[in-house]
Amino acid sequence: MFRCSIAPLCGLSALLLLSAPLFAQHTEAKPDAPKPETHLKNIRQLTFGGDNAEAYWSPDSKWLTFQSNNQAWGLHCDQIFAMQVDKAAGDATYRPLPISNGKGRTTCSYFMPDGKHILFASTAAGADTCPPVPNLRQGGKYLWPVYNTYDIYVSDLKGNITKRLTDLPGYDAEAVLSPKGDKILFTSDRTGDMELWTMNLDGSDPRQVTFDLGYDGGAFFSPDGSKIVFRASRPKTAEEIKEYRDLLAQGLVAPSNMEIFTCNADGTNLQQVTHLGKANWAPFFHPSGKKIIFSSNHHSKRGYDFQLYMINADGTGLEQITSESIFNSFPMFSPDGKKIAFSSNRNNGGTRDTNVFMADWVD
């Protein structure tokens, strides 16, 4: 999931299974000590068990689509579901709608503009079974798998695949929609590197957006569709470049050094927003379009302590948003700007469960 995902780069399951010190790198900046979670009001738990993440709103702000590996639902790896938030809130017996067909591994789902179809990536064309998880700690580093059988599909709310949007060899995933309803933004390695691309809603007219060496992913549009925010690694030294390329050739990416970037929707005016060190990821624009919320462990001495932060689009004004539990990520504001959904380790009874929460947003 990285966000996208837990096992892919949208991706979370692999991340959440690890509790060893991760991402031990230099921290360049720290915000002032915040008041505990003052921006979050009326926090409600929406899932109860397993790893649940990357929950993204429907156009009417009434539904969330998300991925889960909840074994109580008979799942062996991440599958896509949709839930009606008012019914799910606080109800551990609520069962969301299954969207993916249970075959392969899925990730990074997003509602289509009509609110009746869902976009997601799946490895089902490669095999019905979950793809094997490679060694994610080789060389003493934490790694993310980049499955080369991921392709992007559209399904209706009954789980019927209505369109396959990509069919090239390699990784195509982490797809989201423009608020304008005209473009899909996704990550692909079709050029030999992990870059951002756009395409039309029917999969036509694919266009490359980013071009610099390194992993570019977890991207979202600004509220007006004019800009893109994303996470990226940027290997610089000969040693870093070699390591990045060698790992990518094995279908792996090391996410331990990522920063937040923005650009125009066509890729122009590329700007680095954060310079914090460690892992800064899962960015999303504030409803104003002038701020960015994201997950980061830059403050952590242990590595595995991810909190939500807010920063101005020009890189100033860093503010900590969450403080409860050691994992908070995948924030997304509802289209009406009134609520925020996120995933967290809070309220898990000492287990490793990660659940989806929503809260009223207070500016």
One DSSP character per residue, 128-159 reads: SSPPPP--TTGGG---EE--TT-EEEEEETTS
Chain length of the chain: 363
State the Cα–Cα distance between residues 343 and 41, nearest whole angstrom.
15
* In a domain? residue 3: no
Helices (H), the chain: 13-16, 85-88, 238-249
pLDDT of the residue at 35: 61
Give the 3-state secondary structure of residue 273: coil
Residues ≥6 apart with Cβ < 8 Å to 139: none
Residue 44 counted as domain residue: yes
Under a CB-based contact definition with an 8 Å cutoff, are residues 48 and 66 in contact? no
Amino acid at 108: C
Q: Measuring CA to CA, which residue among 201, 234, 205 is closest to residue 217?
A: 234
Residue 13 has pLDDT above 70, yes or no: no
DSSP state of 304: -
pLDDT of 2 > 60? The answer is: no
Q: By the 8 A CB rule, do 50 and 72 touch?
A: yes
Q: pLDDT-based confidence at 264, cuts 50/70/90?
A: very high
Residue 227's Cβ-side half-sphere holds a number of Cα atoms within 13 Å equal to 21
CATH number at residue 350: 2.120.10.30
Residue 296 pLDDT exceeds 80 = yes
Predicted TM-score (pTM) of this structure: 0.92
Could you tell me if residue 4 is inside a domain?
no
Rounded distance between C-alpha atoms, residue 27 and residue 46, angstroms: 34
SS3 313: coil
What is the number of structural domains in the chain?
Answer: 1
Q: Within a domain: residue 8?
A: no
In terms of C-beta density within 10 A (0-12 exposed, 13-18 middle, 19 or more buried), how is residue 46 classed? buried
The label of the residue with tokens 């807010």 reads: 310
- The pLDDT, as a whole number, for residue 221 is 98
C-alpha–C-alpha distance, residues 238 and 306, integer Å? 30
Does residue 159 belong to any structural domain of this protein?
yes
What pLDDT sits at residue 303?
64
Would you say residue 89 has pLDDT above 80? yes
CA distances from 87 to 62, 110, 118 (A): 10, 20, 20
- At 237 the three-state DSSP class reads coil
In a domain, 7, yes or no: no
Task: Round to whole Å and give the CA distance between 332 and 221.
Answer: 12
Task: Tell me the pLDDT tens digit for each residue of 302-361.
Answer: 768 999 999 999 999 999 999 999 999 999 999 999 999 999 999 999 999 999 999 999
Residue 4 scores a pLDDT above 90: no
**Domain annotation covers residue 55:** yes
Domain enclosing residue 131, as ranges: 13-361
Q: What is the mean pLDDT of residues 168-186?
A: 97
Give per-residue pLDDT as tens, 46-88.
999 999 999 999 999 999 999 999 999 999 999 999 999 999 9
- Domain-embedded: residue 2: no
- Return mean pLDDT, the chain: 91
Region 169-178 average pLDDT: 97
240 has a pLDDT exceeding 90: yes
Res 136: pLDDT: 87
Cβ-proximal residues to 33 (8 Å cutoff; 6+ apart), any chain: none
Give the tens place of pLDDT for each residue, 118-163: 999 999 999 999 999 988 888 788 899 999 999 999 999 999 999 9
pLDDT given at position 30: 53
Strand 355-361: give its sheet, edge to edge.
40-45, 355-361, 339-344, 328-333
